[in-house]
C-alpha cells in the first residue's frame, strides 16, 4: 500500500494546487505524501469560527511544520448560505451529506480562486469508502458480518464516483480542475485487496480505518491525526447546521433521493 500510495502522487499534476485540509487522517496522509515532493500545494482549512476543523488546525499542527504551505480561513454564515443556494442550482443531490460535501468544495474552490495561480483542487476523498470509515460499516459488521461489509464498500464507491463527478462540476465553475488520488484505479485495486477485518477490528470498533491509520503512523504522522475520530467535512467545517436551518425555515428546497451516510 505504501508503494502504490507514493506512486500515485508521483503522477499528480505539477501546477499549483489547493488541498482541502482538515488535519484528520485522510488529508494528513495526503498532505504528508505531497509535501515530500513539492511545495506549490497550499493546505487550505476552512470553517466557521468555532468549527472543529479550524480549531484543530489553528491550535497546533505538529505533523506538518511547513507553515508557508498552510492557509486557515473562517467562513461567515452568509458565505455558506450563498454556496448552498448556488450548489442546489447546479447539482441533483443523492443525499443530504452528498449535497453538503458539494457545498464544502464550492467554498474551497471559491477561496482557491482568490490565490490567483491555483489550477487544481486536490481532495482526500476515498479512504472512508475503501477503509470503512463510516459508522455504517461497523454496524454492518455487527449485524451481518465482514462479507456484507465488503459488498457495502463496492456500493459506497459507486456513490463516491457520483460525488467525484459533482465535485468536478463545481470546481469547473471557478475554472479549476480536480484531482482525487485516493480514488485512482490502482489505489482502489490495492485497497480492495485488504480484508475488512484489518480495517474494522470488531463490531465495537468506533475508530475504524485501522490499517490506514497504521500507514499514517508509519510515514511519520503523530497521534493527533492518526487517532482523530472520523468527522464528515460538513460537520468539521460547520456547514451542516447552516443548511439544516435553511431547510427548516424554507430558505432552501432540495429533493433528496437517498440518504446513506
- Comparing 16 with 56, which gets the higher pLDDT? 16
Query: pLDDT tens-digit profile of 175-208?
Result: 999 999 999 999 999 999 999 999 999 999 999 9
Local confidence band at 63 (pLDDT 50, 70, 90 cut-offs): very low
Domains, the chain, in order of start with CATH, read 2-248 (3.40.50.620)
Local confidence band at 61 (pLDDT 50, 70, 90 cut-offs): low
Is residue 261 predicted with pLDDT exceeding 50?
no
Query: pLDDT tens-digit profile of 205-231?
Result: 999 999 999 999 999 998 888 999 988
How confident is the model over 224-251, as a mean pLDDT? 93
What is the 3-class SS of the chain, one letter each residue?
Answer: CHHHHHHHHHCCCCCCEEEECCCCHHHHHHHHHHHCCCCCEEEEEEECCCCHHHHHHHHCCCCCCCHHHEEEEECCHHHHHHHHHHHHCCCCCCCHHHHHHHHHHHHHHHHHHCCCCCCEEECCCCHHHHCCCCHHHHHHHHHHCHHHHHHHHHHHHHHHHHHHHHHHHHHHCCCCEEECHHHCHHHHHHHHCCCHHHCCCCCCCCCCCHHHHHHHHHCCCCHHHHCCCCCCHHHHCCHHHHHHHHHHCCCCCCCCCCCCC
Lowest mean pLDDT among 20-24, 156-160, 252-256: 252-256
The Cβ of residue 64 has, within 10 Å, a number of other Cβ atoms equal to: 18
Local confidence band at 62 (pLDDT 50, 70, 90 cut-offs): low
Rounded to whole angstroms, the Cα distance separating 36 from 15 reads: 16
Range among 54-63, 64-73, 204-213 with highest mean pLDDT value: 204-213
Calculate the CA dihedral of residues 225, 227, 232, 233 and round it to 10 degrees.
Answer: -10
The whole model's pTM is what?
0.91
Local confidence band at 2 (pLDDT 50, 70, 90 cut-offs): low
Rounded to whole angstroms, the Cα distance separating 161 from 113 reads: 24
How confident is the model over 107-128, as a mean pLDDT? 95
Query: pLDDT tens-digit profile of 8-42?
Result: 767 777 899 999 999 899 999 999 988 888 889 99
Amino acid at each position: 500500500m505504501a508503494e502504490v500510495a507514493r506512486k500515485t502522487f508521483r503522477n499528480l499534476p505539477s501546477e499549483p494546487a489547493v488541498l482541502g485540509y482538515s488535519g484528520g487522517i485522510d488529508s494528513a496522509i495526503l498532505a504528508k505524501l505531497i509535501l515530500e515532493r513539492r511545495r506549490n500545494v497550499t493546505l487550505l482549512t476552512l470553517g466557521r469560527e468555532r468549527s472543529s476543523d479550524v480549531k484543530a488546525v489553528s491550535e497546533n499542527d505538529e505533523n506538518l511544520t511547513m507553515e508557508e504551505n498552510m492557509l486557515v480561513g473562517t467562513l461567515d454564515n452568509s458565505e455558506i448560505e450563498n454556496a448552498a443556494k448556488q450548489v442546489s442550482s447546479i447539482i441533483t443531490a443523492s443525499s443530504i451529506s452528498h449535497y453538503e460535501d458539494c457545498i464544502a468544495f464550492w467554498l474551497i474552490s471559491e477561496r482557491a480562486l482568490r490565490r490567483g495561480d491555483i489550477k487544481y483542487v486536490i481532495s482526500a476523498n476515498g479512504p472512508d469508502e475503501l477503509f470503512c470509515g463510516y459508522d455504517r460499516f461497523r454496524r454492518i459488521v455487527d449485524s451481518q458480518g465482514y462479507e456484507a461489509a465488503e459488498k457495502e464498500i463496492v456500493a459506497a464507491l459507486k456513490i463516491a464516483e457520483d460525488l467525484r463527478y459533482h465535485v468536478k462540476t463545481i470546481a469547473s465553475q471557478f475554472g479549476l480542475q480536480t484531482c482525487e488520488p485516493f480514488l485512482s484505479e490502482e489505489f482502489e485495486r490495492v485497497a480492495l485487496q485488504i480484508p475488512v477485518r484489518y480495517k474494522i477490528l470488531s463490531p465495537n470498533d468506533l475508530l475504524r480505518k485501522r490499517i490506514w491509520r497504521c500507514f499514517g503512523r508509519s510515514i511519520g504522522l503523530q497521534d493527533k491525526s492518526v487517532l482523530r475520530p472520523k468527522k464528515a467535512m460538513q460537520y468539521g467545517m460547520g456547514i451542516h447546521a447552516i443548511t439544516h436551518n435553511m431547510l427548516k425555515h424554507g430558505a432552501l428546497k432540495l429533493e433528496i433521493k437517498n440518504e446513506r451516510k
